[in-house]
Every structure is written in C-alpha cells, then in structure tokens.
Structure 1
Amino acid sequence: MRRLLLLAALAPLSACGLHPLYSGGGSGAVASALQQVEIAPIQGRSGFLMTNALRDRLASGSTPAYRLDIRLDDRIAGLGVRRDDSVTRERRTLRARYQLVDLASGSVLVDATAGSDAGIDVVQSEYGTIAAENTALERLADNVADKIVARLALFAQRRAAAK
C-alpha cells in the first residue's frame, strides 16, 4: 500500500519539465561546450583568483570556440563605525561583467553580470583584518565563478536544444 501511495505521489513529477543540465556527463553537449571556452586575461589579484576558479570549473581541453571576457569590480566599504570614526565591519563586494564571444564570428552570445558580497569583521590586528579580506576575496571569486559557469551551462543547454 505504501509503495502504491509513493508511486502515485511521484507520478506528477515526471511531467514537470525538469531535465538534467549535464546529461551525458563529460561527453554531453553542455560539458563539451564548456570545454571550448577560453578565458581572456583578467587584471589584478581578484582577476588571478577568478581565472583559476574558472579554469577549475571549465576544464578547457579542446580547441577554443568561445572566449570569455570578464571585467571585475572589487570594492571594500566600511559599515560599522565607532564613536571615534574607526570602522568595525567591512563589506567586500566582487562584481563581474562577462561576455561570451564566438571566436568564429566575433559576436557576443552572452552578456551578463554576476556578483557576491561578504561581511568582514575589522579586528585590532591589522594582519588579521588583511587575512580576513583576502579570504573573503577567495570565497567571492569561487562564488562568482560558480554563477558564471552556471549561466554558461544554461546557455549551452538551450543552444544544444535549439539545434
């Protein structure tokens, strides 16, 4: 009886229209499209971290068909202020404007932004604050890279479905 109820409850889910994004695994349409993305150089420490995070996720291996151009905006702003005007809390924001360019035609296929922010406690040790800011930047670069790759994967899936 329980199995019958479970099957009856799961039946509507088969028509919900959800499909796996990475169907076919490493040889699927999305994975092979992501492997053809070349990352253009990005300036600065945040650019270095972003490039490494994207390379880890894209696993470029074949001849590039696309180029990913990224411009980063990395800011730190003071939030909490004491009576003596010293900052007690900071907010680090990393925003990326990115474009996926088709190398054959030069046309822009995806033009979007992604961003994330993190709160940082300002402590009395300057070293501790700098270490917290650097750790926040590393996490933000990973987070923004995840968002960019997810958007590119969605684009690749839609493009493969249209063919």
Structure 2
Amino acid sequence: MRRTLSLGVAFLALSACQLRPLYSGGGGGPVAQSLRSVQVSPIGGRAGWLVRTALQDRLGGEVDSPRYRLEVELDDQITGFGIRSDDVVTRERRTLRARYRLVDSARGTVLVDATAGSDAGIDVVSSEYATVAAEQTALERLSREIADQIVTRLGLYISRTGPSR
C-alpha cells in the first residue's frame, strides 16, 4: 500500500513539472515547422561549408521564403600539446567555436545571439597523411556537433517564445 501511494505521488509530481517534448507533433509540429523556415547564411571556409551543410540537413534544407536568417561566424583552431623532449608534438586539440545569431527576416531583429563549441583530441603520428586525415575527421565531427547544439538552442527558443514571434 505504501509503495503504491509513493508511486502515485511520484506520478503527480512528474505531471506537475510540465515537461513537454521539444518536437511534439513530429515534423508537423510548430517547432519543426519554424525550424524549416530558417535560412542559413553562407559561412566561409571548409569548416563553414561543413557546418552550413550540417545545419541545412537538420533544419530541412533550402528555404524559399525564410522567416528567420541564421548568421554564423566560426573560429577553428588546432593547438599542439603533448610535446616530447625533442620538441615534437604528439597530440593536438582541434577547437571549433561558433557565434551565431537568429535574425527575424522581416524586422531585422536579432532574436538569439549565442555561442556553441566543441573540441577533439588528435594523436599526431609519424605519417603526415594520417595526421591530416585525423584532423579532417575531427573537423567533420565537430561540425556536426556544433550544428546539433545550434539547432537544439533554436528549437528551445522557438518552443519558449512561440513560433509566431
């Protein structure tokens, strides 16, 4: 009896917290529809192309009549550390940071101004080709992670403010 009562209280507490799924309604829900109306501005460089492509994949592709414009500036750096006694770098850290702004296309108002970032460790090996390949693979993974962070933050903004704002 006591256990049943405890479970009942727990379920009531959970229903009182008002948690709701971000993408309720699936692809036809208000958040998903609003995200499909975001146009991603061009971003320079290889990292920019990767991030823009990942963002477009997550947002639904090119937009004919965008409600929002997403502007992204990237900072991509590789730092060597793990230096041996003969001054050879044995480890690198690739860091990708993005400053992004969600702009209302009609009014030109900045709705969200935030940052996202991620980093990855890379082993430096004797083969220069293998090291360059590892750096490129890290950049591809970081680009996807940045895009995920940005889309999640935009989804949260839209769910809190409503798609019509």
TM-score, L = length of structure 2 = 0.92
Say which SS state the counterpart of residue 127 (structure 1) adopts: helix
- Alignment correspondent of 2:125: 123
Mapped to 1, the partners of 2:164 and 2:72 lie a distance apart of: 26
- Alignment correspondent of 2:65: 63
Mapped to 1, the partners of 2:105 and 2:93 lie a distance apart of: 37
- Alignment correspondent of 2:139: 137
Partner AA of 1:46 in structure 2: A
Mapped to 2, the partners of 1:135 and 1:123 lie a distance apart of: 15
Mapped to 1, the partners of 2:144 and 2:163 lie a distance apart of: 28
CA shift, 1:141, in A, is: 0.3
Q: How many residues are aligned here?
A: 163
Mapped to 2, the partners of 1:9 and 1:66 lie a distance apart of: 41
- Alignment correspondent of 1:54: 55
5+ residue gaps, structure 1: none
Does residue 1:21 correspond to 2:39, yes or no? no
* CA distances 1:46-75 after superposition (whole Å, capped 9, x unpaired): 011001110110004552111100000000
Mapped to 1, the partners of 2:73 and 2:164 lie a distance apart of: 29
Partner AA of 2:161 in structure 1: R
Say which SS state the counterpart of residue 105 (structure 1) adopts: coil
Q: Displaced runs of 4+ in structure 1, greater than 4 A?
A: 5-8
Structural mapping, 1:10-159, within 5 Å: 10-60=11-61, 61=63, 63-159=65-161
RMSD in angstroms over aligned alpha carbons? 1.9
CA shift, 1:130, in A, is: 0.4
Percent of paired sites with the same residue: 61
Q: Does the 8 Å CA contact 2:47/2:143 hold for their aligned counterparts?
A: yes
Partner AA of 1:43 in structure 2: G
Change (3 A) 1:43 1:22: same
Q: Does the 8 Å CA contact 1:35/1:62 hold for their aligned counterparts?
A: no
Say which SS state the counterpart of residue 13 (structure 1) adopts: helix
TM-score, L = length of structure 1 = 0.93
Mapped to 1, the partners of 2:2 and 2:83 lie a distance apart of: 59
